[in-house]
A and B are shown apart, each in its own frame.
Chain A
């Protein structure tokens, strides 16, 4: 990028430098692209959330409550697919990562700004196809698209899986862009070990994105070919092997779980350090545990298949390897907790979400032990225990991390402060509602209620009712959040450069930052967590 950005008068920022719709649609500025991703993915979060509320409403009582079995099957499929592919995979890397990564390393933009914009439009293209498929009959296979049902289902499975294929490219290109940016564009003095842990997490995530996503791409293409041309890969009727699909699918989708959680872990590292005014405890341990998790994540996919008919030997190996994931994960949790030791802890909204993360993610991780243990998984697999487990990890982990980050960087991204009081109210509502909704599902699953059930036996009725009440609490929490966040855009106080006392580079530039991010190229001499008296 040329130097002309530096010439702008002080006081302008990347919103005001250029105006008009075109200046957004054709922007190459990583911050604008980040904001567009944020708006888009949050919109999908809203859509996926509405579907979740409908699913829970249907399950409030046994038998039909509001919709038919066919509609219900589509609802939970879309809830899963929208949340995973349109929200949780892209949201942190593509929205927050895009906005913050270049600033945090002291660069003006990502390495390939045009590619960055292309990723966004590919994502939009994929999302449009997904929405089109919903209109054209939707899908009722579950977000896992297991064969041979997905080959035979009369719904528009081909289109929705094709949209997953398209969005995969967006994910790969973003990952590639980030890897190159981190390697090539760090400001003078910004060594790898001076990088904020959020960037280590984004880096580890990008590696997984680049290496794993092609596999889901190929898998979805095979599925589409099989559905349209009748060439047998996965359907035994056509000479295929249905279990092979599961191997392919999880070879991507397990690492994808870490695409979802690692960036959130990165956010937690930032927020806990800043709001405790402490150097992060065990910087290298946290950084390397991200890489370790990324590596092991490629070797554990078979833990989704303990009862699929895969050989006992495979199940054995996958169980051992899965157990290993516990170690780097626990290291992180312990280090975050230790960071708070003797700190000066400020319970602002981002920190509340970070604490909620610690609480919920610990439960999510520990319940993973039940599922990694072979004999116990035989009982719990495909029950509500699994549903509760991955919601504790994905929502209790990733979404809490996202909300911590969203509130933490909101002043930087929008230039406005939100209402701390309402932030606190909605955080408490969401936290309590979450536990009401999903703790009850652990019990349901432990007592044998299978997942993806439209109807259930009377012994499961009470807890399903409780779980549905919980979902309303979560819903109201998010409603409040939407109101005060959007309200802050017009009524919020102007944000100072560094409202929380952060030490990372994004807090050295104005809120919101100017188009080129910094007036002068920053020289980095200190690490990102230099708090406390030596």
Chain B
């Protein structure tokens, strides 16, 4: 019995990040609290059923209307317990939502029914994502069609990807190996086939893999993965000139028709409607596909043409990466 309970008290999964380990600890804590509460209620109930089983139609029962101190006591006790629980879960959650300094960033695009990954050096993969071990990773994720949810049980992490926005996951995996990736948000016919692997590699091996060097030179040639030869930032710079952004936006601070991209990322921007926002990936994306949604103070709505439909998710990701690279 105790053995069974023990085996239920924790996920039977590898835990490859500190967040995963902490989630397991909270899980186990709630589990044991639940076991105690369950025994208190169902144990008492069972005891009563045997003890007070009806013996005859004339059984006498006492008249008890209730006991207010018990109700109040239980309410207060429970309040303290659940607020404690909330706090614990919240602290860990906020931790997982805070991006580390200088993370290694990878773009993720979900589509019916596969995961696509874009690395800083321009390399792309489908289904499997490769990362270096013990390195802060930040995934910048979107979807090109419907909702999906990027779920890695070994990390205890999931995040829905929402078309038209960027969502993020930050983590650092501490054990090399291959771990399942699932799509956790229903997305149509092959939802359950939208699988992949998180491949955690030693740092040097990852470097080889990323640059198609060493033992990975051959697989690249065989077409297993695809390298564009240009880094994401370079691809972005190319688009910056080919899509005429450079006509209105400079990359060095010189004012043109539109605001310069220099030091744009991360700065606090004032808008014509008086609001202020911090420039992040989603804001830049919105500014490109829906320029009149948020108009920078001092500029006129309608000056910038919309690029909606002219840039795909990969290109948008490259432009965002390029603009980001112009800020320190």
Binding site for B on A (CB under 8 A): 69-70, 73, 140-142, 146-149, 152-153, 236-237, 239, 242-243, 276-279, 281-285, 307-309, 312, 315-316, 319-320, 323-324, 326-327, 330-331, 333-335, 337-338, 340-347, 355, 358-359, 362-363, 366-367, 369-370, 372-379, 381-383, 443, 446-448, 450-457, 531-534
**Residue from B19, B61, B151 whose CB has the most chain A CB atoms within 10 Å:** B61
Question: Are A381 and B11 CB-contacts (below 8 A) given A70-B189, A376-B26?
Answer: no
Across the interface, name the chain A residue whose C-beta is closest to B34.
Answer: A366
B180 at the interface (CB under 8 A from A): yes
The docked-state distance in angstroms from the alpha carbon of A284 to that of B72 is 12
Which chain B residues lie closer than 8 Å to A347 at the CB level? 49, 53
B30 at the interface (CB under 8 A from A): yes
A307, B90: Cβ atoms closer than 8 Å: no
- Which one of B64, B67, B97, B186 lies within 8 Å of A146 (CB-CB)? B186
The docked-state distance in angstroms from the alpha carbon of A370 to that of B35 is 13
Q: Shortest Cβ distance from B289 into chain A, in angstroms?
A: 9
Question: Are A320 and B86 CB-contacts (below 8 A) given A149-B186, A342-B62, A344-B55?
Answer: yes
The docked-state distance in angstroms from the alpha carbon of A407 to that of B171 is 54
Across the interface, name the chain B residue whose C-beta is closest to A381.
Answer: B158
B6 at the interface (CB under 8 A from A): no
The docked-state distance in angstroms from the alpha carbon of A188 to that of B160 is 57
A337, B45: Cβ atoms closer than 8 Å: yes
Which chain A residues lie closer than 8 Å to B158 at the CB level? 307, 378-379, 381-382
- Which one of A327, A374, A382 lies within 8 Å of B78 (CB-CB)? A327
B153, A362: Cβ atoms closer than 8 Å: no
- In the assembled complex, 17 residue pairs joining A and B whose CB atoms fall closer than 8 Å, in A order, are A140-B188, A147-B147, A277-B61, A284-B66, A285-B68, A331-B71, A337-B41, A344-B52, A345-B49, A359-B45, A362-B38, A373-B30, A373-B89, A375-B90, A379-B158, A452-B192, A455-B192
Which chain A residues lie closer than 8 Å to B134 at the CB level? none
The docked-state distance in angstroms from the alpha carbon of A373 to that of B26 is 9
B23 at the interface (CB under 8 A from A): yes
Q: Shortest Cβ distance from B44 into chain A, in angstroms?
A: 5
A456, B192: Cβ atoms closer than 8 Å: yes
B42 at the interface (CB under 8 A from A): yes
The docked-state distance in angstroms from the alpha carbon of A372 to that of B85 is 9
Q: How large is the interface on B (under 10, 10 to 19, 20 to 34, 35 or more residues)?
A: 35 or more
B11, A447: Cβ atoms closer than 8 Å: yes
B62, A323: Cβ atoms closer than 8 Å: no
Q: Shortest Cβ distance from A140 into chain B, in angstroms?
A: 7
Question: Of residues 51 to 82 in B, which have CB atoms within 8 Å of A's CB atoms?
Answer: 52-55, 59-68, 70-71, 74-75, 78-79, 82
The docked-state distance in angstroms from the alpha carbon of A532 to that of B53 is 15
B164, A236: Cβ atoms closer than 8 Å: yes
B250 at the interface (CB under 8 A from A): no
B146, A312: Cβ atoms closer than 8 Å: no
A366, B79: Cβ atoms closer than 8 Å: no
A242, B147: Cβ atoms closer than 8 Å: yes
B23, A379: Cβ atoms closer than 8 Å: yes
Q: Which A-B residue pairs are the 3 nearest by beta carbons? A: A448-B153, A236-B164, A373-B89
Question: Are A344 and B54 CB-contacts (below 8 A) given A148-B163, A331-B71?
Answer: yes
Question: Of residues 79 to 136 in B, which have CB atoms within 8 Å of A's CB atoms?
Answer: 79, 82-83, 85-86, 88-94, 96-97
